Amino acid sequence: MDSKPDDWTLLIVDDNSENIRVLGNILRHHGYQIAIASSGHEALQRLPWIKPDLILLDIMMPDYDGFETCRRLKAWNQTRDIPIIFVSAIDDTDQIVRGFHLGAVDYVTKPFIKEILLARVETHLQLSQARQYLGLLNLELRRDLEKQRTLGEQDPLTGLANRRILEPRLKSELARMARQGQPVSVAMIDLDCFKQINDNFGHQVGDELLILVAQKLRENLRETDIAIRYGGDEFCLIFPETPLTAIKRSLNRIQQLLSNLSHYRESQPVTASIGAVQAFPKECWQALLGRADQAMYRAKQEGRNQVYYETENTHLIKR
């Protein structure tokens, strides 16, 4: 964080050329880079190119006085964080307080003592640098926290969400259903005979299959749908604001696609059993998930490689 004076650029804004000369000489002698503007209007025009680290601003000037110039600087995103020190012959308490209220960091009255002015300039440059440094650290920390949160909610193998988000997402969708009356549907997917694939061909082949299944799910779901690796070879799909009848085409297509993933070994076809349900009013998330799980096991009991839809008039669709 340490910087030398010649790393800093200071902008002096004053309509009096003698004031600019005296102040500029003091600051240059101390090693600072100096830019000047003879009015508030000129300063505002030049700032995009000068990009000063600190502004020394007079008050009594034509066109925009120092207070109006300060107000405009603090209202502009590109300049609002530049520290401003008023340097003025006005020593009225109300005017000094007004300057602070407008966003100035300090106020130096003329005639000033050179050593005090330099000390204040150096202090506010260091404070500004420290704020910038802390801002960058804070940004990096937020990014790291967001990355950790994302990794904590992501299955490392498939890249899908993991079951950690299942409860909060189901609660959120059920709450939305209660508020807005929009339905929510849930499906559970289990790969048939996955253990045999691991046993016969090794876990690497099993992992490759899970990655491929996750890819097929991402490719065949809407952006608003949520695919979760529930664990092992089980996946959970959440369909927000969607009735059961509206997801049948999508689930039937997914079931058919998964049943075509048998290119791993001719002797070991890959199929999936899927159970799907629609949430009941006032149903808790555990009950909803339990019904989806039961529907999936019903598909297995009926011979696997099919989708079972639990409705009021329960029926089975085999593929």
Cα 143 to Cα 158: distance, rounded to the nearest angstrom:
23
Residues with Cβ within 8 Å of 236's Cβ and at least 6 positions away in sequence, in order, are 163, 166, 186, 187, 188, 189, 227, 228, 230, 289, 292
CA distances from 203 to 106, 159, 192 (A): 68, 18, 16
Say how far apart CA 96 and CA 276 lie, in whole Å: 70
Among 53, 58, 225, 233, the one annotated catalytic: 233
Instruction: Report the alpha-carbon distance of residue 231 to residue 229 in Å, rounded.
Output: 6
CA distance 141 to 219: 33
Q: What spatial distance separates the first Cα and last Cα of the chain, rounded to whole Å?
A: 67
Q: Residue ranges of the alpha helices (H) in 193-284? A: 194-201, 203-219, 244-259
Give the 3-state secondary structure of residue 231: strand
∠ at Cα 11 (110, 133), nearest 5°? 110
Q: Do residues 192 and 300 make contact, with C-beta atoms less than 8 angstroms apart?
A: yes
Cβ atoms within 10 Å, residue 318: 12
Catalytic site residue 233?
yes
Write out the catalytic residue numbers.
Answer: 233
